[in-house]
Amino acid sequence: MVFDFLKGEFIDVISWLDDTRDTMVWRFERRGNAIKYGAKLTVREGQAAVFVHEGQMADVFTPGLYMLETNNMPIMTTLQHWDHGFESPFKSEIYFVNTTRFNDQKWGTKNPIICRDPEFGPVRLRAFGSYSMRVSDPALFLKEIVGTDGEFTSDEISSQIRNVIVQEASQVLAKSGIPVLDMAANTADLGRIITTAIAPKIAAYGLAIPEFYIENISLPEEVEKVLDKRTSIGVAGDLNKYMQFNAAEGMANPGSGIGAAMGAGLGAGMGMNMAAQAGPWGAAPAAAAPPPPPPPAAGKQWHLAENGATKGPYGDSDLAGLVASGALTRATQVWTAGQDGWKPAAETELARLFALMPPPPPAP
């Protein structure tokens, strides 16, 4: 700001130097002094100066250097009835408006947007992005938004702009008919549609949206997990080989996450095999064949002692034949595993073989 005073009473030079990044409107402070006829007004690039006289919107000055006279103040001249010029000072409020872009403004959906997807059915989407805004009509912006605020920043209007963007973005996304899996590839087109939809409402504030971006469209966490599983199956290709690979990895790394998941993978493979063996859907599985009978328990093996030599081993069937032929008698020394030394056959469990045999004849 530069203040030059003529005779300590009237403002001679009017200008504004903005050293902030968020000021959209700044009111030139008169400090009780009037504006001199013929004063110099400097409007820099990216600015506009709006005169408000007695509560009424008057002249708007674009970038340039002006001498405040009747020939370049037509509206003020009409309001003051200065048909033949004027010499005395006048009092008006002067607002400098920043007409440059205010970049990196953020927008996002607070609540999910319900969309009908042709593949997943009703889904909930969230979206966020950024945009830039600038004042396109300084007089309208003062009238509709700023009012008599002496200093107006971008934060004071950004929330209202976000509400307009979110409302239109919700409708565009819900009516787009684009599958959610294809929305990421169409964010540029969707952004242009949203920009076109919000332009009339933003213009009513004296603003324009020169840039608008959709940075992300996201699905609920549950749906993303399902998509991740579907992607994993697609990457796996041959599921049998995939499960074999997982099992091998699990055995090689029993403490790893793969080893922990091996049981689940094997269980899934067993389930698939059982489903394949069950035949057509809904059909009862075939009855399983009965297990083979267990083999007969093997009997004890016996050894016989005869003339200082051993014979055998003999099974039960062999021993019955030996008894019948007389090769095995009650007095024959026998031994089997687990028995404490050699004993006569009559003193072992083989005594049963002699139950039906007559004892030896008595001596003559």
Distance CA 8, CA 164 (A): 49
pTM of the predicted model as reported, rounded to 2 decimal places: 0.58
Residue 13 near residue 43, CB atoms below 8 Å: no
Burial of 359 from C-beta contacts in 10 A (0-12 / 13-18 / 19+): exposed
Other C-beta atoms lying within 10 Å of the C-beta of residue 345: 22
Tokens of 195: 């920009």
- pLDDT, tens digit, for every residue of 91-142? 788 999 999 999 999 999 988 898 888 888 888 999 999 999 999 999 999 9
Amino acid 136 reads: S
Residue tagged 């787009």 (tokens): 176
Q: What is the pLDDT along the chain (364 residues), one digit of tens a residue?
A: 444 444 445 567 899 999 888 999 999 886 655 788 888 999 999 999 999 888 888 899 999 999 888 777 888 777 776 665 666 677 788 999 999 999 999 999 988 898 888 888 888 999 999 999 999 999 999 999 998 888 999 999 999 999 999 999 999 998 888 888 888 889 999 999 999 999 999 999 999 999 999 999 988 787 778 777 767 766 655 666 666 766 776 666 665 554 454 444 444 544 455 445 544 444 445 555 665 554 444 578 888 888 878 888 888 778 888 888 888 888 899 989 888 888 998 888 888 888 766 666 676 6
Reduce the DSSP state of residue 165 to 3 states and report it.
helix
Which segments within the chain are labelled E, that is strand?
Answer: 4-6, 10-14, 23-28, 35-43, 47-53, 56-61, 64-67, 93-98, 102-108, 113-117, 121-135, 151-153, 207-218, 302-306, 309-314, 333-336, 343-344
Distance CA 81, CA 348 (A): 147
Tokens of 3: 């203040």
Distance CA 98, CA 142 (A): 12
According to the model, what pLDDT value does residue 38 have?
Answer: 83
According to the model, what pLDDT value does residue 98 have?
Answer: 96
Which residues neighbour 181 within 8 Å (Cβ) at sequence distance 6 or greater? 119, 227
Residue 201 near residue 171, CB atoms below 8 Å: no
Question: At 245, phi and psi to the nearest 5?
Answer: -60, -45
Characterize the bridge pairing of strands 10-14 and 4-6: antiparallel
**Contacts for 255-258: CB closer than 8 Å, 24+ residues apart:** none
Reduce the DSSP state of residue 197 to 3 states and report it.
helix
Range 287-315 burial, b when 16+ CB lie within 10 A, else e: eeeeeeeeeeeeebebbbeeeeeeebebe
Distances (CA, A) of 74 to 60, 77, 254: 10, 5, 88
Which residues neighbour 142 within 8 Å (Cβ) at sequence distance 6 or greater? 25, 50, 52, 57, 95, 97, 206
Distance CA 25, CA 16 (A): 11
- pLDDT, tens digit, for every residue of 241-255? 666 766 776 666 665
According to the model, what pLDDT value does residue 239 have?
Answer: 62
The answer, yes or no, to whether the previous bond of 313 is cis (omega within 30 of 0) is: yes
> DSSP characters for 93-135?
EEEEEE-S-EEEEEEE-SSPEEEEETTTEEEEEEEEEEEEEEE
Residue 213 near residue 130, CB atoms below 8 Å: yes
According to the model, what pLDDT value does residue 297 have?
Answer: 44
Question: At 326, phi and psi to the nearest 5?
Answer: 90, 0
